[in-house]
Amino acid sequence: MIISRTFKIFMLGVAAMTVMATPVFANDRMAGTQGGANRPAPVKTEKPDTEAPKKQDQAQTVKFTPPPTSLPKFSYKVLESYGTLSDPLGTTLGVDMWAGSSRSTIVKEIPNLPTGHTVATMQDMTLRLLLTQADSTFIRADVAPEKGNDLMTLRLQKLLDIGAYKSAMDLYTQIAGEPYHEKLARAGITAMLYNGETGLACLEFRAVQKRMMDNPADMSADDMAWWTAMAPICGAIQARMINPKADDFKIDETALGESKILTQLLSRKDFKLGIGDVEDFAALNGLERSVLAGLRRYDYSRLKLRDVATVDGAVLMIMVEDPTMPARLRAPLMAEALRRGLVHTDRLAALYDDAAIDAGPLGSVAQSWRSIKGAPKATIDATLPGLMNFDARTPAAAYYPFAESLSKASPEGFSGRALDNGLRVMMLAGVAPPERWVKAWNARESVSESRPSESYELGAAMAVLGNNSRLLDIFNSDAAKARFATPESQKDKEILAVFSGLGLENALHNADKSGAYEKLFDLTAPNDYVMPLGGLLEQLGRAAEDQRLGETVLLASVILNDMARAPDKVHPGVIREVLRSLVTVGFKKEAHDLALAVILGLDELK
């Protein structure tokens, strides 16, 4: 019977706390663990009789001598097959998702996955790829597994880069035995720190510290510095857990390198690092970020969110998950995380239930949310039209929790911008607008003498959902035919790319326009677009044709990395090829969701 990783660590914690609770922590030997067949009992250290008793208010030094351990036995096959998504009826990509894919391709491209996807659909697919329980024996072994570069380690590292800290910790704790390599152990310990599980992180560190540091050949100088610094860090954390009211500690500063922040953080129980701007995070190294996050020692009282859409995803999720974040900032941060696909709609809805956030920029939205919960239909119908009359200064993601209520409301009370916004919110939130909404919008547009670009965007989005653009009068007008015959704007080209990628190009013009499409999407023509390197598009096409599902998602995500950095520089031909590939491997819903994001969502990034 395999004992879960979490239970093992818990039992180690019981043993460790028993050892630590006895002597005064000035000269404690906080021997980490006793459990495990390969681990001897911790070495007991007697206190010299000549040592004078220390006063409670005297500075204390925390030290630790770890017990020796032997190398764990492990199997790459087992290790790389772990995953938190395994239900075949759920969001898993399938146990055979790597069938036919080469190891060299997978280990090369996982590190290239975007850390800043701002398109929720691609973020979701990337997370599913990294978390799926997949049998690694399906992988074509063109190269052998490399120590510290296995699929489990690479996936954990990428989850941390993305900011998916909870998912990373859940994945790591599935490992039944001890980590075999320092990179794997460090990724797991780091995930625990970011989740505020500092005690658990230090127990894990104590369990593997000796073995990792006894193998310096496996580590770079930076790796060794991390493991060296973690000793006094965990010494202080565990001592503080035993006696939270203890006076300031004297820390071994040499082990912490040149980090004055860590020295102050660990020696002073009241130290907090003030964050006035998100750029302040850039001055911190990875260890400083994780320990500050784990101990909840960031001070956001003076933080000003100037442009939350530009915040790095890993930093965004540090702030989203910090319970000390001021109430006024919690909703804007959560709405941005929702827009990027880093959290689900229910997280923002739960936040709106808290009246403490009403003083923030989304306070009125939260109040509206609470006012319609459990309210009669008449009240809901009367509230929603005014609520949907928001402008571009408020992100559409802030209204995703209202999507289901909108789908049940009558469109008669909505007009102008409110009708457009209601449709946009529903589609971006993953709720298909009812036919009555589509008819109401189509009737309004049919009598319009001139249409802005936004009308064509919404019309194209609804056409994608309906899978037939001829259902909408807007695309049958002479003005539309002339507009899309020679598209000039990037948005019009994106719309054409979407229709071509989903196989709807003939429906758009009610005629065969394949020649015009091929000219528009010629990937070899001179242009100022950012193009994927290394033949990735050709590789994507071959993977899709061969039904290599995991590789198709992997390459599509890597290729669309430029959507986050420069959405107006993504070649429409690239968008088309990615959509075609997703449809080919059976991801039709995901392709439609990505199409909606391209049509409706990319404009928010520009």
Concatenated DSSP letters of 485-517: HS--SHHHHHHHHHHHHTT-HHHHHTS--HHHH
Give the chain's residues under pLDDT 70. Answer: 1-72, 447-451, 467-473, 506-534, 562-568, 602-606
Using CB atoms within 10 Å of the CB of residue 258, give its burial: 0 to 12 exposed, 13 to 18 middle, 19+ buried: exposed
Q: Are both 134 and 217 inside the same structural domain?
A: yes
**pLDDT tens-digit profile of 345-370?**
999 999 999 999 999 999 999 999 99
CA distance 461 to 467: 10
Per the domain annotation, does 82 fall within a domain?
A: yes
Check if the beta carbon of residue 473 is closer than 8 Å to that of residue 509. no
Using CB atoms within 10 Å of the CB of residue 480, give its burial: 0 to 12 exposed, 13 to 18 middle, 19+ buried: buried
Using CB atoms within 10 Å of the CB of residue 478, give its burial: 0 to 12 exposed, 13 to 18 middle, 19+ buried: exposed
The dihedral region occupied by 532, where left means phi > 0, alpha psi between -120 and 50, and beta the remainder, is beta
Per the domain annotation, does 27 fall within a domain?
A: no
Q: Are both 101 and 166 inside the same structural domain?
A: yes
State if pTM tops 0.95: no
Single-letter code of the amino acid located at 473: D
CA distance 419 to 407: 12
Residues 6+ apart with CB under 8 A from 513: 485, 505, 506
Last residue of one domain, picked from the residues 278, 299, 320: 299
Per the domain annotation, does 329 fall within a domain?
A: no
Q: Are both 418 and 487 inside the same structural domain?
A: no
Single-letter code of the amino acid located at 460: A
Last residue of one domain, picked from the residues 274, 299, 324: 299
Q: Is the CA virtual torsion 357, 362, 363, 365 positive or negative?
A: negative
Confidence (pLDDT) at 216: 83
CA distance 552 to 548: 6
Per the domain annotation, does 285 fall within a domain?
A: yes
Helix (H, G, I), strand (E, B) or coil at 140: strand
What is the CA angle 170-173-177, rounded to 5? 160
Per the domain annotation, does 465 fall within a domain?
A: yes
CA distance 261 to 259: 5
Beta bridge partners of 570: 530
Cα distances (angstroms) measured from residue 567 to each of 117, 185, 520? 11, 37, 18
Q: Are both 566 and 469 inside the same structural domain?
A: yes
> What tokens does 266 get?
């660990």
Q: Are both 580 and 438 inside the same structural domain?
A: no
Q: Are both 365 and 259 inside the same structural domain?
A: no
Confidence (pLDDT) at 523: 56
Q: Are both 230 and 86 inside the same structural domain?
A: yes
Confidence (pLDDT) at 26: 32
Cα distances (angstroms) measured from residue 99 to each of 78, 280, 404? 16, 44, 38
Per the domain annotation, does 251 fall within a domain?
A: yes
Q: Is the CA virtual torsion 413, 415, 421, 423 positive or negative?
A: positive
Check if the beta carbon of residue 116 is closer than 8 Å to that of residue 68. no
Residue 235 belongs to domain spanning: 76-299
Token pair 């946009």 is found at 424
* Among candidate residues 310, 463, 335, the one with its CA nearest the CA of residue 397: 335
Q: What is the CA radius of gyration of the chain?
A: 28
Q: Are both 184 and 225 inside the same structural domain?
A: yes
CA distance 388 to 368: 11
Q: Are both 412 and 474 inside the same structural domain?
A: no
Q: Is the CA virtual torsion 560, 561, 567, 568 positive or negative?
A: negative
Per the domain annotation, does 309 fall within a domain?
A: no
Last residue of one domain, picked from the residues 445, 471, 503: 445
Cα distances (angstroms) measured from residue 139 to each of 76, 78, 401? 12, 13, 40
CA distance 260 to 570: 43
Per the domain annotation, does 107 fall within a domain?
A: yes
CA distance 496 to 479: 16
Q: Are both 414 and 482 inside the same structural domain?
A: no
Q: Is the CA virtual torsion 373, 376, 380, 383 positive or negative?
A: negative
Q: Are both 526 and 546 inside the same structural domain?
A: yes
Check if the beta carbon of residue 192 is closer than 8 Å to that of residue 201. yes
Q: Are both 439 and 468 inside the same structural domain?
A: no
- Tell me how many domains the chain contains: 3
Confidence (pLDDT) at 422: 96
* Among candidate residues 148, 157, 150, 159, the one with its CA nearest the CA of residue 79: 150
DSSP type of residue 150? S
Check if the beta carbon of residue 552 is closer than 8 Å to that of residue 544. yes
Confidence (pLDDT) at 237: 92
- The whole-chain average pLDDT of the chain stands at 83
> What tokens does 518 get?
């091929």
DSSP type of residue 180? S
